[in-house]
Structure 1
Amino acid sequence: MVSRLKAVKYIIQAQLIAFTYMNLRQMQYFVTLAEELHFGRAAERLGMTQPPLSQQIQALEEHLGVTLFIRSKRSVSLSPTAAQWLPEVRRVLAEVEALKPLARRLAAGECGTLSLAFVSTADYNLLPRVLHDYTSRYPQVQVDLREATSDVQIEALMERRIDAGMIIPPRTALPPCLSYLPLFEEPLIVAVPQQWQDSGRIDRGQQQIDIASLMDEPLICFPQESAPALHEMIRDYFSRQGLTPRQGQQAIQMQTIVSLVSAGMGMALVPASLRNLQRTGVLYLQLQGAVPTLETGLAWNQQRISPALQRLIESVTPLAADQPN
């Protein structure tokens, strides 16, 4: 029963395609005859004989229920209806003709749409560089940007709701259907309230700090479920030094975390590129000793690679080559 339904569906689709093609062809015949106003010359231009052309024009008139050409033994002229219909038919045929190069551009990834998600940290390092390069090469591709944590992006990639995502890779392996390309690596630094310097808590002009000297201050960070890789990296950093930070506020966006630091609610370990976020009331200091580094890369579903996505992958691949082994 199912196979019969499928067969009927394919037959109907084939008939619709044939019907559409026939009407487009008939409209081309109509325009040619309207320009020549002579069946013989029109047939010659179309590479056919006169009788089939006459039959097609008659079929078109019957289908429309209107007279398009006024015929006599000596002449052919446009009916008043056809004279007004002609510009519209030319417009439709021009639009249909434009579909051919559009299809080629879509297949080449030169136009279309691309949905790209990104973690908030990428907004200050990787994302601007990638977007500038990609949109410069493919300005006709519409990029749909969505900010999301890595866990949300991985789920969206699995369900094919986005084309690609800039994620902080989890320490566990990604699902088999996902591919990942590391693109950017940077050290963590500590963001502290400006008021700590004003009050003498931190020396004025200080560039580096021993994290152990700040253990009496709350640590603001991402929730573990939203950014497990970053959360574990920070936890391991303290653990290797035998330190246990005080738990402070949590937030899922880096801008919010920095805002909490600005409000004097604690410190935060953030990527070095967050220096680009010039937030009033925040100081960024380097960490002394061995410093953990944060990696960001591009992930995509191997089962959904559109031409536009393929061009994005090719565009960012040189960034991956620049990363240390």
Structure 2
Amino acid sequence: MLELRHLRQFVAVAEELHFGRAAERLHMTQPPLTMGIRQLESLLGAELFHRTRRSVALSPAGLALLPQARRLLAEAEQFGPLARAAAQGTLGRLRLGFVSTIGYGPLPGWLKTFREAHPGVELALREATLDVQLAAFEAGEIDAGFVLHAPGDRLSGFGAVRVLGEPLVLALPADHPLAAQVRVKATPVLSEPLVIFPRVISPSLYDAMLAFYRDRQAGPRIAQEAIQMQTIVNLVSAGIGVAWVPESVTRLQRPGVVYRAVEDAGLACETSLVWRLPQHPVVRRFVDHVTAAELSSHKETP
């Protein structure tokens, strides 16, 4: 079987064109070097050197093999650094799921700085709701994901770190009577037709929103369900109803829609970065990066 030692011996002799000097370079004696070259020639079925008592020269086969042997040895030298980089999470591929709401917030900045700090990590992004991400985790298609949920909720069997907490605000058609108020009260909202996401895409948050109505002895008038926040906001602009959305969605400016805080609602949501256990090194590197960035942003906020 061809071994790297054969290639090292061949390259040393090819570059020195002298078995004695090549043996010294390899810190070995000449007889085993001569035997190693003969083994290589036997394995390849070709003579690599023309030898005389006074000279050593590369044969046509040796001339053809030399650049390939150098390339293989150079690649073999990278095995150690590559393995260490992969083990440390600075090399590899991170398949990341994310809900659209985090895209309106800090996610673009986190991705930019992570790519700059870890150019050896390839990012593969997939926008997906919680239910789609769970299926992707099960199928081994993503490594980590940003998910939206009610405050304090956790996914069983996953590692998680909370990265964002924010209130829910009300998206209203611009011509709605409540839109004229800077801040609105909860009571007038209870009877308004509601545009909401299906429960399956965030059960804990959906249940928290319905509990808001039940606690006030009201039943939500669900006018329409939609999956994406952008679609929900568009339906509000069409006058289909009002919608509770994370505060970060207010960065999505849509003609015909205004956003208002509801003073006595107390509704909020959280976004967490989740991953399957045990944690992959690249995932650990990304989690550490996001956590550090989030801590830094809190320190900078007066």
- Tell me the TM-score normalized by structure 1: 0.83
3-state SS in 2 of match to 1:168: strand
CA deviations 1:51-79 (Å, max 9, x no partner) are 11111111111111111100111111011
Q: Give 1:29 deviation, angstroms.
A: 0.8
1:124 aligns with 2:104: yes
What is residue 155 of structure 2 aligned with on the other side?
174
What is residue 5 of structure 2 aligned with on the other side?
25
What is residue 312 of structure 1 aligned with on the other side?
286
Q: In structure 1, list runs of 5 or more residues that go unmatched.
A: 1-18
Q: Give 1:249 deviation, angstroms.
A: 1.3
CA deviations 1:89-145 (Å, max 9, x no partner) are 212221222232222211211121111111222211242243234323222211211
Q: Which letter does structure 1 place at the counterpart of 2:144? A: A
State the alpha-carbon separation in 1 of the partners of residues 262 and 153 from structure 2.
27
State the alpha-carbon separation in 2 of the partners of residues 143 and 54 from structure 1.
49
State the alpha-carbon separation in 2 of the partners of residues 309 and 235 from structure 1.
34
> Do the aligned partners of 1:158 and 1:178 also contact (CA within 8 Å) in 2?
no
In structure 2, relative to structure 1, the CA distance for the partners of 1:38 and 1:124 (3 Å cut) is same
Q: Which letter does structure 2 place at the counterpart of 1:306? A: H
In structure 2, relative to structure 1, the CA distance for the partners of 1:169 and 1:137 (3 Å cut) is same
State the alpha-carbon separation in 2 of the partners of residues 218 and 116 from structure 1.
35
State the alpha-carbon separation in 2 of the partners of residues 103 and 220 from structure 1.
50
> Do the aligned partners of 1:212 and 1:243 also contact (CA within 8 Å) in 2?
no
What is residue 248 of structure 2 aligned with on the other side?
273
> Do the aligned partners of 2:190 and 2:213 also contact (CA within 8 Å) in 1?
no
Query: Which has the higher mean CA deviation after the structures are superposed, 285-294 or 123-132?
Result: 123-132
Q: Which letter does structure 2 place at the counterpart of 1:41? A: R
Question: Which of 244, 263, 272 is the matching residue for 1:288?
Answer: 263
State the alpha-carbon separation in 1 of the partners of residues 112 and 153 from structure 2.
31
State the alpha-carbon separation in 2 of the partners of residues 113 and 143 from structure 1.
6
Query: Which has the higher mean CA deviation after the structures are superposed, 306-315 or 130-139?
Result: 130-139
> Do the aligned partners of 2:186 and 2:265 also contact (CA within 8 Å) in 1?
no
What is residue 29 of structure 2 aligned with on the other side?
49
3-state SS in 2 of match to 1:225: helix
State the alpha-carbon separation in 2 of the partners of residues 172 and 307 from structure 1.
25
The within-5 A match list for 1:246-265 is 246-265=221-240
1:59 aligns with 2:35: no
Q: Taking every aligned residue pair, what percent have the same amino acid on both sides?
A: 43
State the alpha-carbon separation in 2 of the partners of residues 61 and 137 from structure 1.
47
User: C-alpha root-mean-square deviation of aligned residues, in Å?
Assistant: 2.3
In structure 2, relative to structure 1, the CA distance for the partners of 1:240 and 1:129 (3 Å cut) is farther
Q: Which letter does structure 1 place at the counterpart of 2:282? A: A
> Do the aligned partners of 1:182 and 1:320 also contact (CA within 8 Å) in 2?
no
> Do the aligned partners of 1:118 and 1:166 also contact (CA within 8 Å) in 2?
yes
State the alpha-carbon separation in 1 of the partners of residues 208 and 113 from structure 2.
30
State the alpha-carbon separation in 2 of the partners of residues 119 and 248 from structure 1.
23
Q: How many residues align?
A: 296
State the alpha-carbon separation in 1 of the partners of residues 89 and 23 from structure 2.
39
In structure 2, relative to structure 1, the CA distance for the partners of 1:320 and 1:203 (3 Å cut) is closer
In structure 2, relative to structure 1, the CA distance for the partners of 1:132 and 1:242 (3 Å cut) is farther
What is residue 35 of structure 1 aligned with on the other side?
15
Q: Give 1:159 deviation, angstroms.
A: 5.2
Q: In structure 2, list runs of 5 or more residues that go unmatched.
A: none
The within-5 A match list for 1:45-194 is 45-158=25-138, 160-169=140-149, 174-175=155-156, 177-194=157-174
Q: Which letter does structure 1 place at the counterpart of 2:206? A: H
State the alpha-carbon separation in 2 of the partners of residues 240 and 29 from structure 1.
81
> Do the aligned partners of 2:165 and 2:270 also contact (CA within 8 Å) in 1?
yes
Q: Give 1:320 deviation, angstroms.
A: 7.0
1:298 aligns with 2:265: no
- Tell me the TM-score normalized by structure 2: 0.89
Q: Give 1:160 deviation, angstroms.
A: 4.2
> Do the aligned partners of 2:149 and 2:269 also contact (CA within 8 Å) in 1?
no
The within-5 A match list for 1:202-241 is 202=178, 204=180, 206-241=181-216
